[in-house]
A and B are shown apart, each in its own frame.
Chain A
Amino acid sequence: MALASVTFFALALIAIASAVGVLIARSPIYSALSLVLNLLSVAGLYLTMNASFIGVIQILVYAGAIMVLVLFVIMLLNLDALPSPRSIGWGPILGFVLGIGLLAQLLYVMLTSFGISLEAAEPVTTAMAVENGSANTLGQILFTEYALHLQVAAILLLAATVGAVMLAQRRFA
């Protein structure tokens, strides 16, 4: 159990650090690579939470396909790194800290006044998590309960694909 917590916190730390890296990296390549690291560490988090199917799909679709194309575009355009930012005054930093404080206060008030509990209604066991995260369960739900939603999403994606081909061919007449 201790090992699971250690991996969880290590992955969570990497995920947060890389997410910050996406924002503050001055070079677009490093920014994109941080995003890849972020996607991979989030996939790792899914795996530690027994949602192996979603974790693997995350790597396959986002890290393996989409980010490769993003990286491609950045490399081909050969974007230069942004110039270093001007030094930030104390005003924005103070404002940021105060804003975070206000947000925390508001969230606390909301949680207590609406009686929202952060604990799950019933404790989640490992067996339940494995059951809910399996490809079998997901497939059953997707193709029965949410069949219409799936079809609509599929048509949307098809339209986007056809649109992309149309735009690439540039024959609008």
Chain B
Amino acid sequence: MEISLLSTSIFAFLVVNAMLLSASVLVYAERRVSGFMQNRPGPNRVGPLGILQPFADVLKFVMKEDIQPAASNTFIHALAPVLMVVIAMSVASLIPFAEGVVLLDIDVGVLMVLALTSVTVYGITLGGWSSNSKYSLLGGLRSAAQMISYELSMGLAVISVVIIAGTMSLPGIVEDQASGWAVLGWNAFRNPVGCIIFIVTAFAETNRAPFDLPEAEQELVGGYHTEYSGMKFGMFFLAEYVNWFVASFIIVTLFFGGYLIPFQPLLLAAIPALDGSLLLTLLQFGSLMLKVAFFAFLFIWVRWTFPRFKYNQLMDLGWKKMLPIALANTVVIAIGVAIFRSIF
């Protein structure tokens, strides 16, 4: 495999910057949409319609004093937010943005996504522990317990997708969904239970409401980042938004046809000249971004629709409901695929 170092570096640079920018777009989107859902205007003073609000936020983070608790562990306290951002960004390298446009296509891409998200827990636990504060520690512990509990169901949902696709590479999984009429080839229709399980576990893995116990304001002040201020807090904040964005990408890639345009085979049959052209690549990228935008919106929507779980409900849901359903779904999918392959 010949990789041109320069072109890969440029591509990686673009992806990282796109992710950084996306975080600011999401911050704006979340505050605005939350405002509309609560029947208030939301931030609308900085720039036209408040578009420059995220930049003002970042400026504020940079200008703020970096306060560190006296009894904290300096090195680990500084390491934790960096870990969070680095891991959140590195998952983005595995996402196929259009046909043939992917930074890193390895044959175990899906597993790599799971592996990287499972390492995210270090950032939160280390941040919580090193602050030497009871709120931070409780937040870190809750987060770690939650992520380990939901990782199993998430892994099983991914396995059911891998069984259908017969490959673990992310572009391979997207291409596998191209077959079938219009949008019926998408895994959301072939594997609806796995799809729902994956979306729910994605909410839990990103610590978003209704699974935001690690930073439950009413109980834990700010959770694992209570003792962080200035840009260190900004990095936790950034990592959370990037995680949310990347999770939307992974949901779309695994279950909603990734970069595939709905009715793509019909479109190609109608206009054969489009095949392999730059326009098709752009259309695919646009289609991917539209789907991702919907799921990014879904995260906000759910946040203001469902109340937060209690801790025992969270564990109940994870271990006694999601895990058995995910296991059963995997077995059913495996049997279904075996029967399907033996008939056709």
Contact = CB atoms under 8 A, between A and B. Distances in A.
Q: Do A and B bind each other?
A: yes
Interface stretch (B106-114, B239-247, B294-302): B106-114
Nearest to B152: A65
Contact of A59 (B107, B118, B129): B118
Contacts of B116: 59
Given A29-B76, A72-B125, A75-B137, A64 B118 contact: yes
A64 B137 CA distance: 19
Nearest to A76: B141
Contact of B115 (A60, A69, A71, A72): A60
B199 interface: no
17 contacts: A3-B5, A36-B122, A52-B106, A53-B107, A56-B111, A56-B112, A59-B119, A63-B115, A63-B119, A64-B118, A64-B151, A65-B151, A68-B118, A68-B121, A69-B148, A134-B107, A135-B107
Interface in B24-54: none
A155 interface: no
Interface string A92-136: 000000000000000000000000000000000000000000110
A68 B137 CA distance: 14
Interface in B95-130: 106-108, 111-112, 114-116, 118-119, 121-122, 125-126, 129
B118 A60 contact: yes
Contacts of A72: 125, 141, 144
Contacts of B121: 64, 68
A57 interface: yes
A56 B119 CA distance: 12
Chain B interface SS verdict (over half): helix
Interface of chain A, helix or strand or loop or mixed? helix
B144 A60 contact: no
A33 B148 CA distance: 18
B148 A68 contact: yes
B168 interface: yes
A42 to B, nearest CB: 13
B108 A71 contact: no
A40 B122 CA distance: 13
When A and B form their complex, which 7 residue pairs have the shortest distance between CB atoms, in order from nearest?
A: A64-B118, A59-B115, A60-B115, A56-B111, A75-B129, A56-B108, A52-B108
Interface string A44-79: 000000001100110110011100110110011000
A59 B87 CA distance: 13
Interface of A: 3, 29, 33, 36, 40, 52-53, 56-57, 59-60, 63-65, 68-69, 71-72, 75-76, 134-135
A36 B125 CA distance: 14
A53 B111 contact: yes
Contacts of A33: 76, 126
B163 to A, nearest CB: 12
Contact of A52 (B73, B107, B118): B107
Contacts of B118: 59-60, 63-65, 68
Contacts of B108: 52-53, 56, 135
Nearest to A3: B5
Contacts of B168: 135
A76 B144 CA distance: 13
A71 B122 CA distance: 9
B114 A60 contact: yes
Given A64-B115, A64-B118, A69-B148, 10 more contacts: A52-B106, A52-B107, A56-B111, A56-B112, A57-B111, A59-B119, A68-B125, A72-B125, A72-B144, A76-B141
A63 B76 CA distance: 17
Contacts of B140: 75
Interface in B58-85: 73, 76
Nearest to B140: A75
